[in-house]
């Protein structure tokens, strides 16, 4: 998966929402509920995907940290905080651009 491509979750979800509208079998009052339910499910799937991506990026960045010998615990802790923040930034980039 490329970091900045549109997730398949979104395209599939959009198709499902269009299907709900095109079906015409759902009463008018329930259409809003059904679409809201679908959007909530999509949001949950995206959050799960983001958490997974954050974990992968964080593990990779921390794995690439320099040899920890000779680095004070405070410096190492600061480096880990910085790289975790960087991973968080990368996984939430799409929200800032929308």
Distance CA 58, CA 83 (A): 7
> pLDDT tens-digit profile of 12-61?
777 777 777 677 666 766 777 777 787 788 888 878 887 887 778 777 77
pLDDT (0 to 100) of residue 7: 60
Q: What are the residue boundaries of the structural domains of the chain, listed by start? A: 8-97
Residue 1's pLDDT band (cuts 50, 70, 90): very low
pLDDT (0 to 100) of residue 15: 76
Distance CA 77, CA 63 (A): 14
pLDDT of residue 85 exceeding 70 = yes
pLDDT (0 to 100) of residue 69: 60
Q: What angle do CA 30, 31, 33 make, to 5 degrees?
A: 65
- What pTM value is reported for the model? 0.47
């Amino acid at each position: 998966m490329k970091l900045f491509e549109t997730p398949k979750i979104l395209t599939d979800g959009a198709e499902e929402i269009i299907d709900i509208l095109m079906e015409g079998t759902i009463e008018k009052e329930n259409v809003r509920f059904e679409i809201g339910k679908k959007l909530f499910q999509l949001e949950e799937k995206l959050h799960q995907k983001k958490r997974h991506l954050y974990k992968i990026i964080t593990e990779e960045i921390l794995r690439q940290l320099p040899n920890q010998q000779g680095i004070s615990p405070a410096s190492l802790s600061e480096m880990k905080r910085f790289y975790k923040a960087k991973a968080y930034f990368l996984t939430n980039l799409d929200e800032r651009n929308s």
